[in-house]
Amino acid sequence: MLCIIIVIILVVLSVNERLNERVVLTEYTFSHEEVPESFEGYKIMLISDLHEAPFAEQIIEHIYDQKPDIIAITGDMVQLPGCTVDETLKIGRAVKDIPIYAVSGNHDTQCGAYYEVMNALVDEGIIPLENDSVCIEKGEESILLLGIKDPRHDAVSAEQYEKIRNRIESEFPIGPCFSVLLSHRADMYPEIKDTKVDLILSGHLHGGIIRLPFVGGIIGKNGKNSLLPAYEYGVVKEGDSATMIVSGGCDKNPKKKRYFNPPEVVLVTLEGE
């Protein structure tokens, strides 16, 4: 019996290793009454928490296959203690016909070379959207894309949260406009869910690292949500607040090995109601 159990464990671990070598595509459709008619079927590819994993070529394949309208990178391109973003830059070099927008994650702001990282992105045509917004137009209609710079410190104060909310609100034009927010930390959702944003794209929690059926992600960040973390993956919506779509990320870290949680990129397709 013990031998059978050992064989099963070895098989499961072997399968998991193979899963961790392949970036999967996860697709969502998001419907909202303010999505303009010309943006019906508009596709956003979300890349999060790459952490310098050697997956740029696979991600580029997904981009070529899906042909998204824009690409959104929601932080942690860097893997501490390093400060390089070579894998992200490979994507920028290979994809010149699709706009790529990026916001920082905590690894990017904490690495000690934040401005060098941002400048390297710009050199490859990737647009940092740090505490800034851009109006994306199709014909005479438009949507608003906003980005929040990561607050850097692992613990975020109430004062910092208030500044983040004010930054988000200050970017909105007068009148209705469908809006998408790029924000690295999914666990920031309770603090920003009631701003004027319609859709939040996020990451940070790596899908809970270990994912179990009917349970979800197991491991979060340090603190009160270190086990069974909230907001770690998938579609989140609380009441009438903004919807958040969270990527499980696409890292490959031997010290934080993923189990039953393959690296992924996300494709979000917009629809009107």
What's residue 222's pLDDT?
A: 59
What's residue 153's pLDDT?
A: 86
Give the residue from 253, 262, 264, 269 showing the smallest Cα distance to 107. 253
Angle at 179 between CA 143 and CA 199, to 5 degrees: 135
Neighbours of 20 (CB within 10 A): 18
Give the residue from 117, 112, 47 showing the smallest Cα distance to 80. 112
What's residue 220's pLDDT?
A: 84
Query: In angstroms, how far is CA 200 from the centroid of its own chain?
Result: 9
What's residue 176's pLDDT?
A: 74
Reduced to 3 states, what is the DSSP secondary structure of residue 268? strand
What's residue 221's pLDDT?
A: 75
Domain boundaries, the chain: 2-272
DSSP state of 179: E
Q: What is the pLDDT along the chain (273 residues), one digit of tens a residue?
A: 777 777 666 666 677 788 899 999 999 999 999 999 999 999 999 999 999 999 999 999 999 999 999 999 999 999 999 999 999 999 999 999 999 999 999 999 999 999 999 999 999 999 999 999 999 999 899 999 999 999 988 888 999 999 999 999 988 877 778 999 999 999 999 999 999 899 999 999 999 999 988 899 998 875 545 788 999 999 999 999 999 999 999 999 888 889 999 999 999 999 987
- Is-contact 121 92, C-beta < 8 A? yes
CATH class of 2-272: alpha beta
What's residue 46's pLDDT?
A: 98
- Is-contact 189 244, C-beta < 8 A? yes
CA 220 vs CA 5, 16, 28, 203, 237: distances in Å: 29, 20, 23, 12, 19
Which residues, 6 or more positions from 163, have their beta carbon under 8 angstroms from its beta carbon? none
Angle at 79 between CA 75 and CA 84, to 5 degrees: 90
Cis peptide before 68 (omega within 30 of 0): no
Q: Give the pTM.
A: 0.94
Reduced to 3 states, what is the DSSP secondary structure of residue 46? strand
CA gap 163, 59 in Å, rounded: 34
Strands (DSSP E) found in 178-263: 179-185, 199-203, 211-212, 216-217, 234-237, 243-246
What's residue 13's pLDDT?
A: 66
- Side-chain-facing half-sphere of 167: CA atoms under 13 Å: 22
- Is-contact 88 126, C-beta < 8 A? yes
CA gap 180, 203 in Å, rounded: 14
Strand partners, 29: 269
